Amino acid sequence: MATNDVGVIDNFLNTFSSDLPGQIVGHMTQNVYDSPTGRYLLVPQGSTLFGAYNSSVSFGQQRTQIIWTRLIYPNGESLDAMLLRFANH
């Protein structure tokens, strides 16, 4: 499991508003490695993530809830991300 802001997605390929639920596409701007050792590349830079975001944001909540459903690697291979568990605390 990758945790503690190890993945940076600062290039969202579409705009979104947390007022309504919807689809989102993001682009990884750096490599993501496993948390325990930092040796194993999990998501390479340049990968594209597809997902959905939730509009159920509570008062005072500062993060939008996003579920990533598909990952496309830079080489064109894809992975059903619903099988994986990512956390960003």
- Domain extents in the chain: 11-83
Q: What is the separation of C-alpha 36 from the centre of its chain, rounded to a whole number of angstroms? A: 19
Report the CATH superfamily, name and number, of domain 11-83.
Answer: Type IV secretion system, VirB10/TraB/TrbI (2.40.128.260)
Any idea what the Cα angle at residue 6 is, between residues 40 and 84, rounded to 5°?
65
- Flag whether pLDDT at 6 surpasses 60: no
Taking 60 as the threshold, does the pLDDT of residue 88 lie above it? no
pLDDT for 12-37, tens place per residue?
A: 655 666 667 788 888 888 898 888 88
pLDDT tens-place string over residues 31-72 = 988 888 889 998 899 999 888 887 776 777 766 777 888 999
Banded pLDDT at 77 (limits 50, 70, 90): very high
Beta strands in 1-88 (DSSP E): 11-12, 22-27, 32-33, 41-43, 48-53, 66-72, 78-80
